[in-house]
Amino acid sequence: MGSRFPHYPTRIVVVGLGRIGLPAAVNFASAGFRVSGFDVDIKKIRQLRKGHCDFHEPRLQTSLTRLQKAKRLSFSLDLEKSVRESDLATICVPTPISSGRIDLTYLLAAIDNCSKALRRGQLIVVESTVAPGICRKLVVRIERTTNLVFGRDFFFAYAPERVTPGNAIHEMKSMARIVASDDPRSLDFARRIYNRCTASVLASNFTDAELAKLAENSFRYVNIAYANELALVCEKVGADVSNVARLANSHPRVRILTAGAGVGGPCLPKDTQFLASLLKHPREHGSILWSARSVNEYMPQHIIKQAKQALKTRFKSKSTVTILGLAYKPNVDDARGSTAVEIARKLLEAGFAVKYYDPYVKVKGVGQRHTDIYSACRSADLIVIAVAHDEIVRADLERIGDAAKPGGWLFDIPRVFNESSASHAGLQYRTIGARQVKSESTEINQAPQCLRS
Ligand X SMILES: NC(=O)c1ccc[n+]([C@@H]2O[C@H](COP(=O)([O-])OP(=O)(O)OC[C@H]3O[C@@H](n4cnc5c(N)ncnc54)[C@H](O)[C@@H]3O)[C@@H](O)[C@H]2O)c1
Residues forming the active site:
213, 267
How many Å is the maximal CA-CA distance in the chain? 84
Least CB distance from residue 126 to ligand X, whole Å? 9
CB 437 within 8 A of CB 412: no
Closest CB to ligand X among 329 and 389?
329
Closest CB to ligand X among 142 and 376?
142
Segment near ligand X (CB under 6 A); pick from 103-111, 203-211, 239-247, 385-393: 103-111
Closest CB to ligand X among 109 and 350?
109
Is residue 134 close enough to count as binding ligand X by CB under 6 A? no
Q: What is d(CA 363, CA 369) in angstroms, rounded to the nearest whole number? A: 8
Q: Measure Cα distances from 173 to 72, 167, 193 in Å.
A: 17, 11, 13
Is residue 165 close enough to count as binding ligand X by CB under 6 A? yes
Q: Which helix (H) or strand (E) holds 369?
A: strand 368-370
Residue 386: count of CB within 10 angstroms of its CB: 28
Q: What is d(CA 301, CA 346) in angstroms, rounded to the nearest whole number? A: 9
Select the residue whose beta carbon is closest to ligand X and give its number: 18
Least CB distance from residue 15 to ligand X, whole Å? 5
CA 143 distance to own-chain centroid: 33
Segment near ligand X (CB under 6 A); pick from 91-99, 202-210, 235-243, 443-451: 91-99
Least CB distance from residue 17 to ligand X, whole Å? 5
Residue 115: count of CB within 10 angstroms of its CB: 21
Is residue 128 close enough to count as binding ligand X by CB under 6 A? yes
Segment near ligand X (CB under 6 A); pick from 10-18, 367-375, 389-397, 413-421: 10-18
Q: Three-state SS for 262? A: coil
H helices present in 147-205, as ranges: 168-174, 184-195
Residues composing the chain: 453
Is residue 135 close enough to count as binding ligand X by CB under 6 A? no
Closest CB to ligand X among 40 and 203?
40
Size of the site for ligand X (CB under 6 A): 25
String marking each residue 223-262 x if it binds ligand X according to CB under 6 A: ----------------------------------------
String marking each residue 107-126 x if it binds ligand X according to CB under 6 A: --xx----------------
Binding test (CB under 6 A) with ligand X, winner from 27, 68, 95, 115: 95
Closest CB to ligand X among 105 and 243?
105
Is residue 267 close enough to count as binding ligand X by CB under 6 A? yes
String marking each residue 11-40 x if it binds ligand X according to CB under 6 A: ----xxxxxxx----------------xxx
CA dihedral 49, 52, 126, 85 (to 10 degrees): 10
Segment near ligand X (CB under 6 A); pick from 9-17, 220-228, 233-241, 428-436: 9-17
Closest CB to ligand X among 161 and 183?
161
Closest CB to ligand X among 18 and 269?
18
Q: Measure Cα distances from 306 to 177, 186, 247, 311 in Å.
A: 42, 54, 26, 9
Is residue 129 close enough to count as binding ligand X by CB under 6 A? yes
Binding test (CB under 6 A) with ligand X, winner from 94, 121, 269, 408: 94
Long-range contact set of residues 409-413: C-beta below 8 Å, sequence gap at least 24: 409/310, 409/311, 409/314, 409/381, 409/382, 409/383, 410/382, 410/383, 410/385, 411/303, 411/306, 411/307, 411/310, 411/382, 411/383, 411/384, 411/385, 412/385, 413/260, 413/261, 413/303, 413/384, 413/385, 413/386
Q: What share of the chain is helix, strand, coil (3-state, %, to 5)?
A: 45, 15, 40
Closest CB to ligand X among 53 and 392?
53
Is residue 41 close enough to count as binding ligand X by CB under 6 A? yes
Binding test (CB under 6 A) with ligand X, winner from 9, 266, 300, 433: 266
CA 76 distance to own-chain centroid: 27
Is residue 412 close enough to count as binding ligand X by CB under 6 A? no
Return residues touching ligand X (CB under 6 A): 15-21, 38-41, 44, 92-95, 106, 109-110, 128-129, 161, 165, 266-267
